Amino acid sequence: MRIALAAIAVIAAPAIARADAPTSAAVLAIDPDQAEAIAARLRGQRFAIAADRRAIAIDDIAGEGRPWVGVVERRGEALWLVTAVGALRLGGPLARPRIAGPGYAIWVVGDRAGDALDARRLGVLRRPR
């Protein structure tokens, strides 16, 4: 019986260890006329549009928690996600200019280590201005 419980604890550990982005890192400033288009891209997810329609906050993506939200920048060969709380270097197979190109506003769910964010899922919120 102890072996079975230990196995369950090990299997469950990654889900428990997952850290959502800080609340302020899951918010994107928007123009009021963009609110409906961005909301359409987030259909099925948990999010809120500010009363003045100048910001959108994402609470959950597909049950994986609060994503990191920001604008992609190229710094040398690397892509970085610039959020309200700082910049994170994007890594993983989704961190490609054709998927997460510079200037795009995106959300990212992934594993963070220091200033690196290994993207498991991402979605476009807005094309470059």
What pLDDT score does 19 carry?
Answer: 61
Which H helix or E strand runs over 115? none
**CA dist 77 to 74, 102, 115, 116, 118, Å?**
7, 12, 16, 14, 16
**CA dist 121 to 8, 11, 17, 32, 69, Å?**
25, 21, 17, 26, 12
pLDDT digits (tens, 9 = 90+) for 38-93: 999 999 999 999 999 999 999 999 999 999 999 999 999 999 999 999 999 999 98
Query: Which domains does the chain possess?
Result: 20-126 (2.40.50)
- Rounded Cα distance between 116 and 35, Å, is 29
How is residue 62 written in tokens? 């597909």
What pLDDT score does 95 carry?
Answer: 86
Which H helix or E strand runs over 61? none
Q: Binning pLDDT at 50, 70 and 90, where does residue 9 land?
A: very low
Rg, C-alpha atoms of the chain: 16
Mean pLDDT (the chain, rounded): 86
pTM summary value: 0.83
